Chain A
């Protein structure tokens, strides 16, 4: 069964600090992995997409890593800002098709940045 597990479930850090969110998946065969940011009352917005051959990808202060061998990904946030407070959702796309074009969602990590 395809699954995406995220940790921690929630995280509170001080403004300016760094943090790393984890995503482990069992989706096979693998196509790509996206990290989404979901602000309260909004829909998820894509931050990065990682394909099988990519190890690291950055988008401003966000850096995603992918280890396709261990089926793990991380999202590192540098110099956090209050606006980073949101839920971060890991979404893995498999190649076998199926509902939602084979997307499997994690439950997300709820990140709170405190001043």
Chain B
């Protein structure tokens, strides 16, 4: 069974440009999460989808970030316009609804804003 996949693996853009990250969760997982890790800091929550609905987006830093999950399958995270402080590794995770609720993580997208 394929795990969580993310595309691209790396992205280098200039300040002010737009970038779209994609996450394909494990098939059948209704829960999808976006996280970000800034260098030297811990992984921080961005938002949580249940199927196509945003369950919690309390971690989204500002309105330059837009996440979608049309059809409840893959998800995209768009940053527009990108700022220097948006640099970091963006992880996606998915999970089934279970009492242990283990989240399976993708390999991440390393975003560098110059």
Q: Across the interface, do B107 and A42 meet the contact criterion of CB distance under 8 Å?
A: yes
- A43 and B42 in contact (CB under 8 A), knowing A99-B48, A99-B58, A101-B48? no
Q: How far is the CB of B16 from chain A (nearest CB, A)?
A: 28
Q: How far is the CB of A113 from chain B (nearest CB, A)?
A: 22
Chain A 87-115: CB-based contact to B (< 8 A → 1; otherwise 0): 00100010000111101011110000000
Q: Across the interface, do A99 and B56 meet the contact criterion of CB distance under 8 Å?
A: yes
Q: How far is the CB of B48 from chain A (nearest CB, A)?
A: 6
Please give the number of chain A residues whose Cβ is less than 8 angstroms from any Cβ of chain B in the complex.
22
Q: Across the interface, do B102 and A43 meet the contact criterion of CB distance under 8 Å?
A: no
- A101 and B101 in contact (CB under 8 A), knowing A43-B106, A43-B107? yes
Query: For the complex, is A4 an interface residue (Cβ under 8 Å from B)?
Result: yes
Q: Which residues of B contact A44 (CB under 8 A)?
A: 43, 91, 105
Query: For the complex, is B33 an interface residue (Cβ under 8 Å from A)?
Result: yes
Chain A 67-95: CB-based contact to B (< 8 A → 1; otherwise 0): 00000000000000000000001000100
Query: For the complex, is B7 an interface residue (Cβ under 8 Å from A)?
Result: no
Which residues of chain B have a CB within 8 Å of any CB of chain A?
4, 9, 31, 33, 35, 40-45, 47-48, 56, 58-59, 91, 93, 100-108
20 contacts between A and B (CB under 8 A): A4-B42, A42-B107, A43-B91, A43-B93, A43-B104, A43-B105, A44-B43, A45-B105, A46-B102, A98-B58, A99-B45, A99-B56, A99-B58, A100-B33, A100-B48, A100-B103, A101-B48, A103-B45, A103-B103, A108-B42
